[in-house]
Amino acid sequence: MQKNNYSRREFLVKNSFLGLGAALTMGLSPSLLANTLDLVSDRDLRNNSEPIIDIHQHTDYSGRSNDLLIPHQRAMGVTKTILLPAGRPLSYGSTYYGYSNGLQAKATGNEVCYQFAKAHPDEFIFGANEVPDMPGAILEIEKYLKLGAPVIGELKFGLDCDSPAMQSIYELATSYNVPVLMHWQHNMYNRGIERFHTMLKKYPKVNFIGHAQTWWAEIDNNHRDPNILYPKGSVSRGGLTDRLLSEYPNMYGDFSAGSGLGSLVRDEDHARGFLERHQDKLLFGSDCSDSEGRSNLCLGANIIPAIRKLASSKVIERKILYGNAQKLFKIS
C-alpha cells in the first residue's frame, strides 16, 4: 500500500491558495502579457526561417486536440518539439489522490506521445515518464528510453526531490545519459528545492532542467515568501536558481509557462544579465495549451520574442532558442 504524503483534507487546505488550475498554468494575465511585450506579428512568426526547438509541450493538453498541436507549433515558428508525457492516472499520495493526474492538465502519457512523434518524426520527439513511486515505474520509463526518448519528464509529483523514488529516476538517467526535467512548485511538486544541491553533487552525470513557479521565483535573492508563486517587480541578483545555475554544470533552466515568461518580463534589466550569465544553460519551452500559437494568450508566442528582445547578442538568442537544446538532447 502506497504511504500517502498528505491526507486529502491536508492537501486541500495546504493548497487552497493556489486557486484554479488555469491560473497555475498561466500565472500571468492576458493584459500583462499584452502590456509587457512587443509581440511579433503573425507574418513574422510564419516567415521566420531560423530553427527553434521547443523542449516542453504536451499531448491532449487541457483538452486541446492533438490535430491542433502541429499548426500551433508551426504558428510559433517551432521546428522541433519535445513532447513530455504524464505518468499514468493513479490515486496515490504523490498524485494527490488523482488531483495531479495528467500533470494536472489532462496531458496524456508515454504511448500517446510516442505514437504521435512516430507519426510526425520531422517535427516531434517523445519523452519518457511515470509516477516515480509506482511499482514498475523504472521499467516503464526504461521502455521508452530504449525506444529513443532523450529525456525523462516532466516530473511533477508530490515527492521530496531527494526521496528514494526520485533518486531511482536519477540513477536511471545516469545509466541512459539523458536529462531530467522537473517541475518545482513549493509544497506541491519536487519539495525541498533548498536541498537539491545535494542531488546535483550526488548525480553529477545527470543534467537536470528546472521549470515552473518555485524555480523561477527563486531567481530573486529577496524572494522571502515561498507561497508567492508568481512574484512581480524588480529582481535582486543571486537567488537560489541563479546560484544553482552558476555553481553546478549539470543544472539547466526551462523558460516555459507563465513562470518562465514572468521571470523575463518582471525586470528586464535583470533578465538581460541573467541571459548573459547563463547563456549556455537556458532553454526555450512553451508549455502552453492554447490552440492558436500566436495570440496574446499563447505563452510560447510571447516567450520567443521576449528572449529575442532581451538577449544581448544574436549568438545568445540562438543558443537559447535552438543550440543549447540541440546539444543537450542530441538532436540532429
- Is 41 domain-assigned? yes
- Is 297 domain-assigned? yes
The yes-or-no verdict on residue 178 having pLDDT over 50 is: yes
- Is 2 domain-assigned? no
- Is 77 domain-assigned? yes
CA distance linking residue 150 with residue 31, whole number of Å: 36
The yes-or-no verdict on residue 23 having pLDDT over 50 is: no
Torsion-angle region of residue 177: left (phi > 0), alpha (psi -120 to 50) or beta? left
| pLDDT tens, residue by residue, 214-265 | 999 999 999 999 999 999 999 999 999 999 999 999 999 999 999 999 999 9
CATH number for 197 = 3.20.20.140
Grid cell of 102 as nine digits: 495528467
| pLDDT tens, residue by residue, 35-55 | 333 333 333 443 457 999 999
- The enclosing H or E element of 81 equals strand 80-83
Can you name the residues that pair with 254 across neighbouring β-strands? Answer: 283
The total number of structural domains in the chain stands at 1
- Is 13 domain-assigned? yes
296 pLDDT band, cuts 50/70/90, is confident
pTM, two decimals, is 0.88
Average pLDDT estimate for 11-29: 37
Average pLDDT estimate for 142-155: 98
Predicted pLDDT at 193: 98
Which structural domain, as residue segments, surrounds residue 314?
Answer: 8-328
Q: Compute CA 10 distance to the chain's CA centroid, rounded to the nearest angstrom.
A: 26
The yes-or-no verdict on residue 4 having pLDDT over 70 is: no
- Is 1 domain-assigned? no
> For residues 229 and 185, is the Cβ–Cβ distance under 8 A?
yes
Q: List Cα–Cα distances, 32 to 27, 28, 265, 296, in angstroms.
A: 10, 6, 9, 10
Q: Is 146 helix (H, G, I), strand (E, B) or coil?
A: helix
- Is 156 domain-assigned? yes
- Is 3 domain-assigned? no
Q: Is 310 helix (H, G, I), strand (E, B) or coil?
A: helix
6 pLDDT band, cuts 50/70/90, is very low
